[in-house]
Structure 1
Amino acid sequence: MRRFGQIIQVKPDHIEDYERIHAAVWPEVLETIRACNMRNYTIFRHGTLLFAYFEYIGNDFAADQKMMAADPKTQEWWKYTDPMQEPVEERADGEWWANMKVVFHTD
Structure 2
Amino acid sequence: MRRVAQVVHVRPEKVDEYHGAVLAADLALTAADPATREWWRRTAPCRHPVEVAAHGEWGTSTTRVLHME
Which of the five TM-score ranges fits, normalised by the shorter chain? Answer: 0.5 to 0.7
In the alignment, which residue of structure 2 is the partner of 1:74?
Answer: 36
TM-score (norm 2): 0.58
In structure 1, list runs of 5 or more residues that go unmatched.
Answer: 1-39, 43-52
**Within the alignment, does 1:88 sit opposite 2:58 as a pair?**
no
In the alignment, which residue of structure 2 is the partner of 1:100?
Answer: 61
**Residue 70 to residue 102, structure 1, CA distance change in 2 (3 Å):** farther
Higher Cα Rg, which structure: 2
Moved over 4 A (4+): 101-105
**Residue 74 to residue 83, structure 1, CA distance change in 2 (3 Å):** same
Alignment of 1:1-107 (within 5 A): 53-96=15-58, 98-101=59-62, 103=64
Contact 2:52–2:60 (Cα < 8 Å) also in 1:
no
**Residue 93 to residue 63, structure 1, CA distance change in 2 (3 Å):** farther
> What is the DSSP-based 3-state SS (H/G/I as helix, E as strand, rest coil) of the residue aligned with 1:66?
helix
In structure 2, list runs of 5 or more residues that go unmatched.
Answer: 1-9
Higher relative contact order (CA 8 A, sep 6+): 1
TM-score (norm 1): 0.41
